[in-house]
Structure 1
Amino acid sequence: MPQLVDTTIRLLSQEPLAGKVPTGEVLRIAEILDRAGFACLEVSGGGVFDAAVRRGVESPWERIRALAARTTTPLGIALRGRFLVGSKPVSTDIVRRFVSCAAENGIDVFRLHDPLNDVSNLREAGRAIVDAGRQFHAGLVYSPGRAGEIDALVEQARKIADLGASRVLVNDPTGALLPHLTQELVERLRDATGLPVGLYVQGASGTGLANALVATRVGADLVATAVYPLALALHRVPGESLVDALHGLGRDTGVDTAPLWAAADVIDEHIGDEPVAPVAPRIAVRAAEYDLPAGLVAALDVHLRAHAAGDRLLDTLFEVGRIRAEAGWPPLAAPIGQILASQALLNVLSASRYGTVLDEFRLLVEGGYGETPVPIEAGVARAVELVTGSSPALDDDPPSADDVREAAEGLAASEEDLVLLAMFGEEAQTLLQTIRQRHSREASLLQGDVDATRAERIRELVRIVQESGVGEIEIEDGGMRVSVRRAEEVQVVSAAPLAAIAEQAEPSLPPAAPAGTVRVESPMVGVFYRSADPGSPAFVEVGDVVAAGQTLCLLEAMKLFNELKAEQDGRVRAIHVENGQPVEFGQLLFELDPLDAQPIV
C-alpha cells in the first residue's frame, strides 16, 4: 500500500511563508501531524536554510532539533546534490560534515537530487548518508522541452542502485508532468533500478492529484503531500484529498485525516485571510504555458516591473526556454532555474544576447556544476568565453573545511556553524554573530542570584518578544518584576527580497559627468556590495587606479552573486552607491577617469 510524506513544515519554513507562522506554532503543527501516520515529515531543505540565514533570527539547525524533540515520525530533508542547501557546489568534506550534522540532529530520510540530473554528483552525499545509517532517496528531475526526456531519465536511473539508494523519486518542480507520462516513468524507473518509486510533484490545475492517483495504481509506494491550505496556495498535492481518494479505491495509506484538518486550522489562524504567494492567476497561466516553475515566473515579473518593463514578460519567458536549449537542456530545479532566468533577464533588458554573462551561467557552461543532459551549443560556449575571459576565482575548487575555518576567524564554534559558513558566506556570518550577541544578552540576565526556574521564565519571555510582534512584556512573580522590551533593531546588511527591490523608488539622477568620464552602470536589478564579505576591504576606493577586468563590486540578484568588472583602465572618480543598497538596471554605480585624462582634483 502507498505511504505518504508530508511537506507542510518545510513549506512553512521557506519563502514565501517563512516568518508568517511563529516558530512555536510551527512546532505545534508538527506535533499534530506527528499523530497522522505519515511515513515521513519533510521539515527542511535548501529553501528553509536559505530563508533562515537571510532572516538572521534562528539557526536552521535549531529548528530541526526542536522538531526532532517533539515528534516520533521520521524527519526528512531535501538536498541538491553537491549544492546541498546552497547555490554553489561545496567540497566533499563539507558534504560529509553536513550529512553528519543533519543525522545527529534528527534527520532520518535524505531526499537527494542533482539539479542537472548528473547522478555522479550524488555519489559523495549518498555515501555519507549510507555511512550514517540513514535512508537515501535519490531523485530525478522531470522538466519537459526536448525529445527523449524520459529515456534520458531512465538511463540516469540505471546508475542509482550502485549509489546505495533505497528508493528512486520522480521530482517535477514545474507542474508539467501529465498522468500518462507519470505512468510510463514509474513503470520504467522501477524496472530499470529494481527500487521502489516515489513521487514529488506539483500541479496548479489538478494534475498533481491525478498524477498521484495514477502513480500509486502502477506501483509507486510513496507520494509527497501538504495540508490543504498550503496545497491550494502552493500547487501541491493535498493530503486530505489524496487519502480519501485512495481509500475509496481500496488503497489504504494508514493516514488519519483528522490531524491534517486540525493542522490546517492552526495555519488558517495565521495566514487564512492573506495571499500566500505572489502568484496571480496571470502568472500561474504563463508558468503552465511555458512549463516553468510558478515562483520563477513571479520573480521575473517583479524584476521586470521594477524598471518599467512589465510588458516584456513573455519575451523573457521565451528567452528562458531559448537559453535552456543552448545551455544543454538542464532541468529547471533550483538553483539552475534561477541562473537561466537571471541570464534571460539580462539578455532581454540589455537587448544584447550574452553581452553580459552571469558568473554562475559561465560556470554552468564550463561544466563547473556537472554535466548537462546534452552538450552546450558551441556558439554559446564561445560567446561566454569571449565576454567573460578568465575568472580564476570561479576556477578554484570549493573551499575545504579547513579553508572555511581559517577564514571564519573563530566564528565557527561547531560543525554546524562551519557548514553554514561554507555554503552561505557573509550571510551566515551575520546570522552567527546575531545569535552570539543574543546569547550574550541572555547570559547577562542570569548573573547573580536568579534561580533556574526564574531564568527559564526570562528566556521564555525573550523568545515570545523575538517571535511575535509584541513590543514589551512585563511579569511580576514572588516580589520580582521582569520587563522584556524589544530593542530598536540594528539594520543588518542582507540581500533584499525581490518584493523589496521592486518597491524601491526610482533613483534620483546623478549630476552630469565631465566629458571623458566613463560611467559604470548596473547591468541588472540587485543589491550592491563593495566587498566580498563584511570583514574584507572594499574592492576599490575613490582615487584607486583599476585595470581592465578588475572587480569593482558584487551585485546580488535572485540569490546569485555576480562580479562587475572594469571594462578599461581608469582611476575611480566617484562611487555613487552605498554598500548593501538595492540598485536598478542602468543605475550609475561608478565613474572612472581614463588614465590618459587628467584627474579632476
Structure 2
Amino acid sequence: MSTIKLLDTTVRDGNQSNWGATGLDTGMMQQIAPVMDRVGFDAIDFTTSTHMAVAVRFKKEDPWERLRLFREATPNTPLSFLTTGMRFISWEAASEELMEFAFRLLVNNGIRRFAVMDPMNNVPAMLNMADLTRKAGGEQIVAALTFTLSPMHDDAHWAEKAKALTETGKFDKLYIKDPGGLISAERAKTLMPAVKAVMGDIPLEFHSHTTIGLASFAYLEAANQGVYSLHTSASSAANGTGQPSMSTTIGNLRDIGHTVDVDDEAVAEMDSYFSVLAQAEGLSARGPGDYDRRYFHHQIPGGVLGTMIRQLQETKREHLLPAVLKEVEKVRAELGYPIMVTPFSQLVATQALLNVTSEERYQVVPDEVTRYVLGRFGTPAMPMDANIEDRIKSSARAKELETEAKMASLDELRARIGKGYSDEEFLLRATMPADQVDAMVAAGPARRGYNPKTKPVLDLVQELTSRKKLGGVKIEKPGFKLELSE
C-alpha cells in the first residue's frame, strides 16, 4: 500500500465535462481558492486556451485576471495548463514564436505546471512542446498520453510511447489521459505495470472519466499498481462525464489500505461550497454513467455526445442517433483511427452526422476534416482509407486550403492589431474576434468573491431592472419593508 496524491479538476475539467465550461466565473473560483490551497493537492488543473476563450466569450471576464487572482490565493499549490497541440485559442495552427510567447505569459501570470498533450500522441511534437514550455519558465512539464482503443493500441503500444517520452529526460511526470472513460479495472491491472516498467523513477498519474461508470474501479486498481496521483473533482462537479468524486475516492483508497495525505476539513469545506453553489446556480450534479458497451465502439466523449444529441433533438431527428453512432465507427476507421479527443472527436462526430443526414456519405466535408486529411494535424496512427483520402484531397476546397496562409508572425500581428495593448490583451486579440475582447474590456474587472445566498436577490434585481416600464418596487415581509420609486 502506498501514499496516493490527488490532482483537482473541479474548476477546469469538472466544470467543462458537466457544466459546459461556463458554470463557474472568476468570483466563484476566487472565493474557494484559499480552501483548495489547504487541501494538499499535488496540483490544480486550472485552464486551457479554450477555457480562456470561454471566459471572454461567455462571461466577459479577463482570463489573465482570473489566473492572477487564483494564483494569489493558492501560493502552495501548482496551477496547471493543458496544451492541446500547436494552437492557442484559435484552431489555426500557431507558430512556435506565438506558442512560446503565450506560454511565457502564462508563467508570468501564475502557471507553474504544463500538461503537454498532442491529439495524435505524436512524440516529436510533444518533445518540442516540452522544450517550449520549459524555455518559457514552466516548473513542471508533464506528458499527457491520451488513451484510445483500436486494433493497434495494446499495452505494448502504450509502453513504447511512454518510453519514448520519458527516456528523453524532458518530462517530470507522465499521465495516462482517458477522455472516454474506457479503461476498466481489468485493463488498468495490465496497462499501468506495462507503462511503469519503462518509466524509471518518473511518477505516473491517471486521469479518467466516469462516462460509463468504470473510472472509480479503475482508479483503485491503478493505485494498487503503483500510480502516483489520481485526478478527481468536488462531488457536485464530479461523475457524469467528469472525473470521480474526490471525497469518495479518498474514502475508497483509505478503505483498501492506501494513504491519502489531505486536510479532511478543507476537503469537506470545498465539497460543501461547490454543492451549495451548484444548487444555487442550477448546475447539474450526477452520478457515474450507466455501463454502455457502445462507447467501446464509437468512443465519443460525453460532452461531444451531448452536443450531438441536442443538435438532433433541435432538428427533430433524434431517431437518427443509432445510425450516427454506427457511422462514427466507420468514419473513425476511414480516417486512420484518430484518438477521440479534442479536436478529433468533434471532427469525426460532425462528419458522421453529416454523412447520415446528407444524400450521400462525404457529400459535405467540413474544412477541419479536410485539413486533417491534408496532414495539418500530423500523421494518423494508421493509414486512412485510400478512396476517402483521395476523394477529399482532390476536392476544390482541399486545393484552396492547401494554399491558405499560415498564422502571421508576432510582428505582423502587432502591426495588424495595433499598439497600446498589454501583451495579455494583444494575445487575446490575435486569437479571438475583436468584438468579444472589446465586450470583455467594457465589462471591467470581474466581481470579487461569491456568496450563493445572494443568488435569489441578484436574480430578482436583474429581472426588475430589465423591465423598462417599471415605475417602482415594493418588498414587504414581517419586520421589513422596502419601497423604491422613480
Q: Does 1:238 pair with 2:240?
A: no
Deviations 1:110-158 (CA, angstroms, capped at 9, x unpaired): 1111011112222332112222141000011111132444333333223
2:155 — aligned with what? 150
1:3 — aligned with what? 5
1:30 — aligned with what? 33
Q: 1:294 aligns with which of 291, 302, 312?
A: 302
The structure number with the bigger radius of gyration is 1
Structure 2 residues without counterparts, runs of 5 or longer? 469-486
User: How far does residue 278 in structure 1 lie from its aligned partner after superposition?
Assistant: 10
Q: Is the 8 A contact 2:113 2:138 kept in 1?
A: no
Q: Does 1:399 pair with 2:405?
A: no
Deviations 1:172-207 (CA, angstroms, capped at 9, x unpaired): 000111122223222222222322211011123432
Q: 1:330 to 1:307 in 2, by over 3 A?
A: same
Q: Does 1:255 pair with 2:265?
A: no
Deviations 1:468-522 (CA, angstroms, capped at 9, x unpaired): 54647xxxxxxxxxxxx8899xxxxxxxxxxxxxxxxxxxxxxxxxxxxxxxxxx
Cα distance in 2, alignment partners of residues 384 and 87 from structure 1? 20
Cα distance in 2, alignment partners of residues 275 and 50 from structure 1? 21
1:313 — aligned with what? 321
Q: Does 1:160 pair with 2:165?
A: yes
User: How far does residue 421 in structure 1 lie from its aligned partner after superposition?
Assistant: 3.4
User: How far does residue 261 in structure 1 lie from its aligned partner after superposition?
Assistant: 2.4
Q: Secondary structure at the match of 1:301?
A: helix
Q: 1:298 to 1:100 in 2, by over 3 A?
A: same
Q: 1:138 to 1:21 in 2, by over 3 A?
A: closer
Q: Does 1:117 pair with 2:124?
A: no
Deviations 1:266-322 (CA, angstroms, capped at 9, x unpaired): 222232374528999799785466432111111111112222211111111111111
Cα distance in 2, alignment partners of residues 56 and 248 from structure 1? 41
User: How far does residue 163 in structure 1 lie from its aligned partner after superposition?
Assistant: 6.2
Cα distance in 2, alignment partners of residues 414 and 393 from structure 1? 34
Work out the percentage of aligned pairs sharing the same amino acid: 23
1:188 — aligned with what? 194
Q: Does 1:128 pair with 2:132?
A: yes
- Total equivalences in the alignment: 454
2:48 — aligned with what? 45
User: How far does residue 17 in structure 1 lie from its aligned partner after superposition?
Assistant: 4.9
Would you tell me which structure has more strand in proportion to its own residues?
Answer: 1
Q: Is the 8 A contact 1:90 1:422 kept in 2?
A: no
Q: 1:24 to 1:53 in 2, by over 3 A?
A: closer
1:385 — aligned with what? 393
* Structure 2 letter corresponding to 1:139: A
Q: Is the 8 A contact 1:5 1:225 kept in 2?
A: yes
Q: Is the 8 A contact 2:162 2:198 kept in 1?
A: yes
- TM-score, normalization: structure 1? 0.69
* Structure 2 letter corresponding to 1:369: F
Cα distance in 2, alignment partners of residues 314 and 130 from structure 1? 45
1:178 — aligned with what? 184
Structure 1 residues without counterparts, runs of 5 or longer? 443-457, 473-484, 489-601
Cα distance in 2, alignment partners of residues 17 and 238 from structure 1? 18
Q: Secondary structure at the match of 1:112?
A: strand
Q: Does 1:169 pair with 2:168?
A: no
Q: Is the 8 A contact 1:9 1:30 kept in 2?
A: no
Q: 1:148 to 1:333 in 2, by over 3 A?
A: closer
Q: Does 1:435 pair with 2:435?
A: no
Cα distance in 2, alignment partners of residues 50 and 242 from structure 1? 31
Q: Is the 8 A contact 2:238 2:286 kept in 1?
A: no
Q: Secondary structure at the match of 2:106?
A: helix
Matches within 5 A, 1:108-507: 108-131=112-135, 132-161=137-166, 162=168, 164-194=170-200, 195-272=202-279, 274=282, 276=284, 287=295, 290-387=298-395, 388-392=397-401, 395-410=404-419, 413-423=421-431, 425-426=432-433, 429-439=434-444, 469=459, 471=461
Q: Which moved more, 1:39-48 or 1:393-402?
A: 393-402
